[in-house]
A and B are shown apart, each in its own frame.
Chain A
Amino acid sequence: MTAAVALSPHSDSVPANGADCAPVLRERGQREVFCGLTGIIWLHRKVQDAFFLVVGSRTCAHLLQSAAGVMVFAEPRFGTAIIEERDLAGMADCNEELDRVVDRLLTRRPDIKMLFLVGSCPSEVIKLDLSRAAQRLSGKHSPNVRILNYSGSGIETTFTEGEDACLAALVPELPALPADAPQELMIVGALPDVVEDQFVRIFRELGIKTVRSLPARKSADLPPVGANTRFLLAQPFLGETARCLEDRGAVRLDAMFPFGAEGTANWLHAAAMAFGIDEAEFQRVIAPGKARAIRAIEHCRAQLSGKTIFFMPDSQLEVPLARFLSQELGMTPVEVGTPYLHRRHLAQDLALLPATTVISEGQDVDKQLDRVRAARPDITVCGLGLANPLEAEGLTTKWAIELVFSPIHGFDQAGDLAELFARPLRRRDVLKV
């Protein structure tokens, strides 16, 4: 993990009010969070010819099934190679077993072009070397199938960090961008296709012709990377991926994350500046989208303005979402919990949080619930293991996972994003039972 560095924000829109360098409450104890395997649920929808094979226990398979709900039945492109007693007792050679499973899988699914061997807690603890297995199997199955490895284990990754680990494993595979190539823009982070298309359209209109995405929708379309790559993080949980891209010479464009009118404008602006787009031209291009976003957000303002919100840690989206809700909707974040705080990437969003906001990193769930009960916020953002129990105590909740699975980035989703928070409050008010 990179050391967290407090930087002064580059934002010149609003004076910093201190949350970016406020002390962080760090806690250890029981954490009520998903492991990185859960990232497979949306990653496999994004990369259309990839298969994710978890090497783990029945618990891992059960988690995926519980998280994937009914998707399990659409011939999904993920599965689990369940480690059995024989594998542990050395009666079966784990690597031979893995080869057998992979062969069977690839025979069954000839449409697969990229296979991820995903490490889990059990496979990490027994020190099964999946990176070597991936190399060995790649040799066997190339050129048809590229086989890679990353770990989504709970002991190493929290929820969305699974995507970070997956994309970081892809970075060494990216073709090299020639040193004399013109500057290119890369959007990093899996976005819903509709959102990605919106962003690409805006960049084109700004005059940025070559815009790539990591991950791409097809494994054959890996974006090239080099010293002339400028990249924007679309998601706040991609620390390792960013580091790997920087190792290959790419340059990160510092920005807020693209939530709401302000966040999206700031994010687009970072790219416009890097590509020398004229300021007036920039304002002209984004004006209609920004106006639409402001109009759409307005619908929820009465509902949300002045209300308090408490984020329990889940996905690392908490800081930028709290920024959006406080800056653009007038909400008051009481505590913003995050499983991991990347200060450098979040500097601009942190700078805009009210000085009174407590930032907490990590979790001791029982102590944090005590704080929720003491604060009695209007909305508590939390996981599904906590939502109904808190509702039963008379607190209104918004379940956090939806924020990862729904299109929420960009101008044209700003209204939907605000609505996700307004709806539980509206429901609380309309029910007469």
Chain B
Amino acid sequence: MQLTVWTYEGPPHVGAMRIATAMEGVHYVLHAPQGDTYADLLFTMIERRNKRPPVTYTTFQARDLGTDTAELFQSAARDAYARYQPQAMLVGASCTAELIQDDPAGLAEAMRLPIPVVALELPSYQRKENWGAAETFYQLVRAIADKEVRPSPREGRRPRVNLLGPTALGFRHRDDIIEITRLLDSMGIDIHLVAPLGACPADIKQIGAADFNILLYPEIGDTTARWLEKTFGQKTVRTIPIGHGATRDFVNEVAALAGVDPACALDRSNMPWWSRSVDSTYLTAKRVFIFGDASHAIAAARVARDELGFEVVGLGCYNREFARELREAAKLYGIEPLITDDYLEVEDAIAALQPELVLGTQMERHIAKRLRIPCAVISAPVHVQDFPARYSPQMGFEGANVLFDTWVHPLVMGLEEHLLTMFREDFEFSDSAGASHLGHGHAAPAQNHDADVQAVDESTLQPVAEPEVMAARGWSAEAEKELLKIPFFVRGKARRNTERYATEQGLATITLDTLYDAKARYAR
């Protein structure tokens, strides 16, 4: 058993729901107990969908167990078919139904419905949401794709591609598709099919008619892309166009496969100039910690180092399926990869590294808030505010603009606070005003957490820790007071560096000189 409060991913059947909900004409009959319908509201609330997810839950209860759960499944499937008339049906079990060992596959087959029925084997006690989505998409394509279909001859037509991987509840998938479609159009390339998002089974049947595939979200589409390579000989573009450089690489890779001139891709990105302008100089070597799904984390690391001039000090992902790719990427930055789905480990890593910016998921947003570190979101899981009304892709040249604004924004706020702290002695300013991007009155860090983290509370010059604690660590009163003059958002790092320096030098007492000697020692 694993003690969990927060989980980065839901169970695999939620991944299957993401595929069913993304598509048209597909209905998912899920063998599940009462209560599992909670997942509907991820789609209706967080993503603000205006339709119910196309999922029928058998909703068995205790009184049904051992008697008619199989019959319940069949009648639910029959009713769903009669009511919704789908072109294809997915059937499967949630974690509880997996234990009662009804066989949705066999039960559905016995019904002889006149449409393709795809049975899903999603091991709930081993696998998670992304895997469930990938497996569902793969099984569906495998069952429905017409293996005889091939691209028509190239003479007199534009190249045609499939975009693979976007789903319901995907982080910025809606706008990424628009951006990439525009980019490809500017290169003279047509989209044959976007799947699963917006596709119906009839479209999937013709998937083989595209010249090649573009895999935008490996977490969802990788298994399918490999099968299409094998079955239809379609090649796969694997560069993920997140960031300015990656988008250029993507354009080149696509152009080579399509036999078009990459120069016609319209680069309308402001990002390179924004990043080179003198206002961005202070971004140089800002220490950034990056965590999310592997694909977004790896892409973000490249943008952070090569396009914003940050120093990547931490890189990790929560999906073990892509651990190898992440380890490779971590080597590029000479850092230890962090592969975990335990948010407490992530929190410890962030607390230990004291980065100046955190790029992560909704979870890291909260960790950063607690540790008072600027933060931006780069990956699912995300909350409702990251399904915005405005156009905000992550991919392509407009995506690069979005990334620049999103990541720099919390740092500019940090700079604004820095100016405030310089005027701290001024009666109108004080630490207790709090950080503007964190809102007011946020909770102090819990005491049972890394005590290095200091909340700033009501007093202007609030102790860094209990005076006796500081004294026990060798801080003289004078040095401790000086430490308080350092802006709160780098104070934790300054204290750690000073204590480390004192230990290295074998000093029993930390004096004013120790503080400044350490500062000189660790100066960048």
Contacts and interface: CB of A to CB of B under 8 A. Distances in A.
A195 B18 CA distance: 41
Contact of B34 (A61, A155, A389): A155
A58 B7 contact: yes
Given A58-B10, A62-B11, A70-B366, A35 B34 contact: yes
A59 B61 CA distance: 17
Interface string A146-179: 0000000111101000000000000000000000
B41 A384 contact: yes
Interface in B434-466: 443, 446, 448
A31 interface: yes
A66 B5 CA distance: 11
B94 interface: yes
B91 to A, nearest CB: 15
Interface residues of A, number: 67
A253 interface: no
Interface stretch (B46-54, B248-256, B352-360): B46-54
B319 interface: no
A356 to B, nearest CB: 29
Interface residues of B, number: 59
B56 A30 contact: yes
Contacts of A63: 35, 38
Interface stretch (A2-10, A94-102, A302-310): A94-102
Given A58-B128, A386-B52, A84 B2 contact: yes
Interface string A52-69: 000101110111011101
B35 A35 contact: yes
A388 B1 contact: no
Contacts of B10: 58-59, 62
B3 A155 contact: no
A33 interface: yes
A269 to B, nearest CB: 37
A388 B14 contact: no
A288 interface: no
A158 B356 CA distance: 46
Interface in B1-25: 1-7, 9-11, 13-14
B143 to A, nearest CB: 25
Contact of B11 (A58, A85, A100, A104): A58
B11 A385 contact: no
Contacts, number: 189
Nearest to A370: B83
Contact of A31 (B37, B48, B96, B369): B37
Contacts of A78: 5
Nearest to B449: A75
B4 A80 contact: yes
Interface string B43-86: 01100111110001111111001000000000010010001000
A266 B506 CA distance: 75
Contacts of B33: 35, 121, 153-155
12 contacts: A57-B96, A57-B124, A57-B125, A58-B124, A69-B383, A83-B1, A85-B125, A98-B1, A153-B35, A388-B44, A388-B50, A389-B44
Interface of A: 29-38, 55, 57-59, 61-63, 65-67, 69-70, 72-76, 78-85, 87-88, 92, 94, 97-98, 100-101, 104-105, 108-109, 121-122, 124-126, 153-156, 158, 366, 383-389, 391-392
